[in-house]
Structure 1
């Protein structure tokens, strides 16, 4: 999380302190059941059947050929989805990685609708990006591979424009550069709310933005849940990797990762997870694992009932 002002940060922490207890208790909001979600093969067949896109009247700075190639690459290789260097898009990236596993065909159709119509609806969520967002998508620069991924630029900007949490109260309207600021920030409760509203998952979450979850053995907790679902961790990434976009010097969570595998041999834990367009392998002690985790989101598929 990149913070533009120490004063703003302190106000945010004070405000957070007043609601940390409520954040530590997940709020389960029922969402309407969707149709049975899709397979990767269905999504590939659909997207490979599209050979050309016309320019969008709503996204003037997105090149159609580059948009289509980006979307095809993402459907074929979901691991490649990339939030960008220096941005606060990591929460939207983790959400999208889950989306591409839950309903890749729905993801492709949603992004195409958003591109063609300038707005889109999915699972009772209606995205109506602001004019500032529509002008900016396709123009982000110095964000690594995200620079040439206009579909992901459009999607991440639209997500940040639509979903708001308490970290966004200081900056609610997009201005150029806000992808690096509070405008794009995702706190733990906001991330869980996005997953519940868009995806065909039941989720249980433990932890908060300030207080670590009360779990005796995080390894066992994560390992058990990986047997039946997906696990997303909200971590203090600054003490794991030093990244240029992390400026804060306090022990707070800043990053969302999606766990792929976890194993333990003696006192060494090996963690494999999605992070910034690829898989990362990290070896750490049980104490260090406990130290970096502030939130754990456990996602399981909703049961589908035949008519």
Structure 2
């Protein structure tokens, strides 16, 4: 009969194999070249999560079952690019930046989530995150959001970030009420997004752009390609235009969405092949340089600060 330890070892090997196979052959690596200073590995995170036995139901998060929490965290570890903000929510900014902890420190993220579950609060980066009671009561109950319905750990994380970080868009709706994941309570303006990057993660942030004005960058594709070699590039864009059947300019244009740029290159016909992580998957579109410039309002480059 197979021992428990042997079963655990085999399971870990299978999970790590899935992680390796999940990388699409020939696709661009998002982590900047030469940056191998990861704080932890997926294997370490899985070993930690598998070592947790008899996790008790949290009094702070009564609608998040412990077994489901652990399963969600294991899925985050082996498939970070499958992390999804859910349909109709305003969680896109939080989803985009979550790529950082899942890639650079999956063990640290797993430990944070377990501490948050046990104690109702936990330290992350430069902040102590202590979500309010309405938020803690709601996690696990969000419905009709696609795969987020089955992801109470993701609900915990998104709701906690939205509850803690505030910008001017949240001014008139600062206290969570049922359904606020779809309202300005959960929205993120450009300055708030960059503040979260600086406060949550150990790195430097270079930001160009604003909520109402596009960044003045002469050759935007070249700028984005060059900065992908230095760090992670997040884009604040008008996705309503991006997903329109006809890519035409309109009189009304405002940014509404955050994505992580995964690849960009010029094509022989002069168009730009634009690849980004959005809604739990990589999307590739071919756009004209002018249209690309028209939809991008903010560029945030996060570079990991490497300890010497």
Task: State whether residues 272 and 280 of structure 1, in contact with CA within 8 Å, keep that contact through their aligned partners in structure 2.
Answer: yes
CA-CA distance at 1:122 after TM superposition: 1.8
State whether residues 86 and 147 of structure 2, in contact with CA within 8 Å, keep that contact through their aligned partners in structure 1: yes
Q: Out of 56-65 and 86-95, give the one that drifted further.
A: 56-65
Q: Could you say which residue in structure 1 is the equivalent of 2:305?
A: 302
Quick one: which of 61, 64, 79 aligns to 1:62? Answer: 64
Inter-partner Cα distance in structure 1 for 2:55 and 2:65: 9
Which residue matches 2:152?
150
Residue pair 2:125, 2:202 contacting (<8 A) in 1 also = no
Aligned length: 266
Residues 91, 256 of structure 1: 8 Å contact kept: yes
Match of 1:286 in 2: 289
> Retained in 2: the 8 A contact 1:99–1:107?
yes
Report the secondary structure of 1:45's partner residue.
helix
Please say if residues 36 and 304 of structure 1, whose CA atoms lie closer than 8 Å, have aligned partners that are also in contact. Answer: no
User: 2:241 maps to what in 1?
Assistant: 239
My pick for the range that moved more, 93-102 or 174-183, is 93-102
2:168 maps to which of 166, 169, 174: 166
SS of equivalent residue, structure 2 residue 123: strand
Question: Which structure 2 segments of 5+ residues have no match?
Answer: 1-36, 246-250
Aligned to 1:230: 232
> What is the correspondence of 1:208-227 to structure 2 with a 5 Å cutoff?
208-227=210-229
TM-score normalized by the length of structure 1: 0.83
Q: Distance in 2 between matches of 1:81 and 1:51?
A: 25
User: What secondary structure does 1:257 align onto?
Assistant: strand
Q: CA deviation at 1:114?
A: 0.6
Contact 2:38/2:104 (CA < 8 Å) preserved in 1? no
Query: Which of 107, 111, 114 in structure 2 is aligned with 1:105?
Result: 107
| Structure 1 position 271 matched with structure 2 position 246 | no
Q: Can you list the C-alpha shifts for 1:56-112, whole angstroms capped at 9, x where unaligned?
A: 111111122211111110111100111010000000001111221222111111111
TM alignment of 1:56-135, pairs within 5 A:
56-135=58-137
Measured after TM superposition, the shift of residue 299 of structure 1 is 1.2
Do the aligned partners of 1:83 and 1:89 also contact (CA within 8 Å) in 2? yes
Residues 1:52 and 1:283: Cα distance change in structure 2 (over 3 Å): farther
Once the two structures are superposed, residues 165-224 of structure 1 have per-residue CA deviations (whole angstroms, 9 ceiling, x without a partner) of: 000001000000000000000011101000101112211000000000000111000000
| 1: CA distance, partners of 2:252 / 2:61 | 39
CA positional deviation for 1:150: 0.1
Deviation at 1:300, TM superposition (A): 1.1
More displaced stretch, 100-109 vs 35-44: 35-44
Shift of 1:242: 5.2
| Contact 2:206/2:302, CA 8 A, preserved across alignment | yes
Larger radius of gyration: 2
Unaligned runs of 5+ in 1: 1-34, 244-248
The structure-2 alpha-carbon separation of the partners of 1:220 and 1:36, relative to structure 1 and needing over 3 Å to count, comes to closer
Conservation of the 8 A alpha-carbon contact between 1:236 and 1:255: yes
Counterpart-to-counterpart distance in 2, 1:128 and 1:136: 15
**Per-residue CA distance 1:106-159 (angstroms, 9 max, x = gap):** 111111111111111122311111110111000000000000100000110000
